[in-house]
């Protein structure tokens, strides 16, 4: 076996060594059974059931291995956008510094920028992956946004993060590159999905390509580490609890940026429009209060709402740019259509077109 095995080819010996390194010195994994899980567009996830021997107290009975997709286009995308390097680096370097709920990491290695890499993570079962198509309940949405405080508050305004080359932050150069990329991808995106979009939704997607405003801007005054792709398909949710327990996964896109982009992206994509309109002010207000309680000062509530309205365009960039770049599937088409409609409607509802200058 290579030093970095394929996520579907782990051996009992490999997993035993990882568990012992994590403090379970008396355990032995006798056998493994594997099954693919999730619907990732760039990565592949495999759940392993462990048959244990020896001192198994506190040892997980299931683990999840994550590595690159087997699709060549998705693998290339993951390397070009540094998705694989970002995720491995998050678990190695940033996870201990933030409070957002994430799986425990038992192994995180990568060859260069990838695609060869492997993460071995704790399993959040009985939590299940969110459903981007169906959307979520208001309690789940509120819980998911509260979790973001654990990512944003510990990294708020930390300029040392700007020195991490693998993490990255928006500059005038990267903003222009993103705008050019969006302009290049938009025709293919509309060829594929325009028939499912309303005329005003198409119009605002096209308007973003012509403007000098969000989502393609340099780093602003208020910044933190942002997940970038914080949506239901990238969350594990246990809604049997009250409040629901939300665990964030898929850290392939994170960067330094505007924290309210994460909040707007999640609420715009995760809640159906009718429910979102009724609760978003309350949820954003609760997020702001939690930030203040976590020690974030000099960030007024009205500025928070302003940044939230501006942040709705983050979903445009992810949706339009990503859709033509990953392996096309029936579910993927349905997901990107739903995201385009919801993000466009979000911007229209909040009058955010005023920021497109």
What digits encode the pLDDT tens for the residues 205-240? 999 999 988 999 999 999 999 999 999 999 999 999
Based on the fold, state whether residues 205 and 291 are members of the same structural domain.
yes
Residue 336: which CATH number? Answer: 3.90.1200
Based on the fold, state whether residues 275 and 324 are members of the same structural domain.
yes
Structural domain includes residue 3: no
Based on the fold, state whether residues 173 and 203 are members of the same structural domain.
yes
- The predicted structure's pLDDT at residue 39: 58
Based on the fold, state whether residues 176 and 117 are members of the same structural domain.
no
DSSP annotation of 354 reads: G
The whole-angstrom separation of Cα 229 and Cα 211 is: 23
Provide, rounded to the nearest whole percent, the portion of the chain with pLDDT above 70.
99
Six-digit token string for 13: 């010996």
Residue after which a domain boundary falls, among 100, 122, 144: 122
| Average pLDDT rounded to a whole number, residues 53-74 | 90
Q: What is the mean pLDDT of the chain?
A: 94
Q: What is the pLDDT of residues 23-45, one digit of tens each?
A: 999 999 999 999 998 755 677 89
pTM of the model: 0.93
Based on the fold, state whether residues 152 and 63 are members of the same structural domain.
no
- Closest Cα partner for 87 from 119, 127, 55, 47? 119
Structural domain includes residue 265: yes
Based on the fold, state whether residues 115 and 132 are members of the same structural domain.
no
Structural domain includes residue 214: yes
Based on the fold, state whether residues 337 and 248 are members of the same structural domain.
yes
Structural domain includes residue 91: yes
Residue after which a domain boundary falls, among 122, 141, 171: 122
- The predicted structure's pLDDT at residue 327: 72
Q: What is the pLDDT of residues 87-133, one digit of tens each?
A: 999 999 999 999 999 999 999 999 999 999 999 999 988 899 999 99
Q: Identify whether the C-beta of residue 324 lies closer than 8 Å to the C-beta of residue 189.
A: yes
Based on the fold, state whether residues 332 and 350 are members of the same structural domain.
yes
Tell me how many degrees the CA angle 40-72-179 measures, rounded to the nearest 5. Answer: 75
pLDDT band with cut points at 50, 70 and 90 for residue 1: very low
Q: Domain of 304?
A: 128-355
Structural domain includes residue 258: yes
- Closest Cα partner for 233 from 97, 93, 329, 312? 329
Structural domain includes residue 4: no
| Average pLDDT rounded to a whole number, residues 154-179 | 94
Residue 97: which CATH number? Answer: 3.30.200.20
* SS3 letters across 229-281: CCCHHHEEEECCCCCCEEEECCCCCCEEECHHHHHHHHHHHHCCHHHHHHHHH
Based on the fold, state whether residues 103 and 208 are members of the same structural domain.
no
Based on the fold, state whether residues 187 and 75 are members of the same structural domain.
no
pLDDT band with cut points at 50, 70 and 90 for residue 326: confident
Structural domain includes residue 1: no
Based on the fold, state whether residues 136 and 100 are members of the same structural domain.
no
Question: Phi and psi dihedrals of 213, rounded to 5?
Answer: -100, -150
Based on the fold, state whether residues 22 and 64 are members of the same structural domain.
yes
Domain count of the fold of the chain: 2
Provide, rounded to the nearest whole percent, the portion of the chain with pLDDT above 90.
86
| Average pLDDT rounded to a whole number, residues 156-176 | 94
Residue after which a domain boundary falls, among 122, 151, 167: 122
Q: Identify whether the C-beta of residue 293 lies closer than 8 Å to the C-beta of residue 256.
A: no
């Amino acid at each position: 076996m290579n030093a970095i095995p394929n996520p579907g080819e782990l051996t009992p010996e490999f997993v035993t060594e990882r568990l012992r390194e994590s403090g379970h010195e008396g355990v032995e994994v006798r056998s493994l059974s594997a099954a693919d899980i999730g619907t990732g567009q760039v990565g592949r996830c495999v759940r392993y059931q462990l048959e244990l021997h020896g001192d198994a107290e506190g040892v997980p009975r299931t683990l999840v291995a994550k590595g690159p997709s087997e699709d060549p286009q998705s693998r290339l995308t993951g390397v070009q956008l540094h998705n694989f390097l970002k995720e491995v680096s998050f678990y190695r370097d940033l996870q201990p510094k933030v409070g957002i709920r994430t799986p425990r990491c038992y192994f995180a290695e990568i060859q260069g920028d990838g695609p060869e890499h492997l993460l071995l993570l704790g399993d959040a079962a009985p939590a299940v992956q969110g459903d981007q198509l169906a959307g979520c309940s208001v309690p789940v949405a509120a819980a998911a946004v509260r979790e973001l405080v654990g990512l944003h508050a510990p990294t708020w305004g930390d300029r040392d993060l700007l020195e991490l080359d693998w993490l990255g932050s928006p500059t005038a150069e990267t903003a222009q590159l993103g705008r050019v990329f969006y302009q290049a991808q938009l025709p293919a995106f509309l060829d594929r999905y325009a028939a499912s979009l309303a005329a005003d939704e198409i119009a605002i997607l096209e308007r973003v390509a012509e403007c000098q405003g969000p989502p393609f801007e340099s780093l602003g005054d208020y910044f933190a580490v942002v997940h970038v792709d914080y949506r239901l398909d990238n969350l594990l949710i246990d809604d049997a609890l009250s409040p629901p327990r939300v665990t964030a996964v898929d850290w392939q896109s994170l960067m330094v940026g505007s924290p309210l982009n994460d909040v707007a992206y999640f609420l715009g994509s995760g809640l159906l429009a009718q429910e979102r309109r009724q609760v978003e002010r309350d949820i954003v207000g609760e997020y702001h209060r939690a930030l203040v309680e976590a020690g974030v000062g000099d960030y007024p509530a009205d500025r928070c709402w302003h940044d939230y309205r501006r942040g709705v365009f983050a979903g445009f960039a992810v949706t339009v740019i990503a859709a033509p770049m990953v392996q096309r599937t029936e579910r993927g088409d349905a997901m990107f259509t739903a995201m385009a409609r919801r993000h466009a409607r979000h911007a229209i509802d909040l009058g955010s077109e005023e920021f497109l200058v």
